[in-house]
Each structure stands twice: as structure tokens, then as C-alpha cells.
Amino acid sequence: MRASQFTPTVLVADDDPDDRLMIREAFEECVIGCRLCFVKDGVELMEHLRTTCDPTDASSKPFPNLILLDLNMPLKDGRQTLKEIKSNPDFRAIPTVILTTSQNEDDIAVCYDQGANSYIIKPASYSDLLGIADTLRQYWMDTVTLPIKPERHDQNRP
């Protein structure tokens, strides 16, 4: 689905309140009309995804068209969360971009091996973050065709 046909929702998983604030401000400035949803760790992210894919749940949250995933979070880190997202048929088509401070070559290789769509190192300045937000908008919301909310792959459902 093209960005011009819907309001995109970006799910951001990051435990750092300062990073969340800067991401919010950068997206509000560069990606007009985008819905941002924030979670603090992989456990919250997976719970958010489960509630978006449950058509019987009245409290269902907006389905994310893009996930921004930090690697270093408590409870369930981004590596574990990425593996869980990409191994689940209900969620694996959601574009997942790693946005982290880690420049570790092993992290980069593992994330791509587990299905990350991109790996971006968090910038040191807000102006650089604006550039990243604008690039994400141009590519993921203006250029590519994103999946719509998928049907659940639950074999026990009628």
C-alpha cells in the first residue's frame, strides 16, 4: 500500500527516553501525518504486535507499517525481538529497521541474517537524525509499497 493511500504507523522500540523524544520530534518535523507508537523493550513490542493482529480485540492498536528497533533494551533486547518478529508469519513482512548505537560488525551481520531490512547507526546530532527521518520517509513511505495489516496465520481460527 502506498503512503499516499494511508497514514503510516511507525512502531519505535527504544528504552532511552531522550532518544524517544528526539525520534518523536524528528518524525514530527519530517514525516507529517505519521502515527508514532513507542514501546520500551521487546516484550512490549511483541505485545503491541499481538494486539494489532487480533480482530476480536476492541483495544487493537494501529498496525505498524514500519518498525524501528533498538538493539540494547532491557527484558528482551532487539536481537531477540528481531528473531521473534521475523520467525512469526503474522509479523515477518513488517519492514524492520535497526536504529541503534551499536557499530559492532557481529551485530550488523546477525541482524541482516535474521531478516532486518536495514541497519542504521544512531547519529550523534539532531540534524543528522532529521536527515535519517527524512530518508526513512522518502524510502519507506513514499517509494516502496508497504504491507497492509495481515490476516492472522492461526491454524485454530475458523
Look-up of cell digits 521475523: 86
Mean pLDDT of the chain: 83
* Mean pLDDT of the region 142-154: 65
Claim: this prediction has a pTM higher than 0.85: no
Per-residue pLDDT reduced to its tens digit, 1-56: 444 455 788 899 999 999 999 999 999 988 888 888 999 999 999 998 888 755 55
Strand segments (E) across the chain: 9-13, 35-39, 66-69, 96-100, 118-121
Q: How confident is the model at residue 111 (pLDDT cuts 50, 70, 90)?
A: very high
C-alpha–C-alpha distance, residues 112 and 54, integer Å: 28
Per-residue pLDDT reduced to its tens digit, 55-66: 555 455 667 888
Continuous segment of H or E residues that includes residue 121: strand 118-121
pLDDT the model gives residue 65: 85
C-alpha–C-alpha distance, residues 56 and 14, integer Å: 28
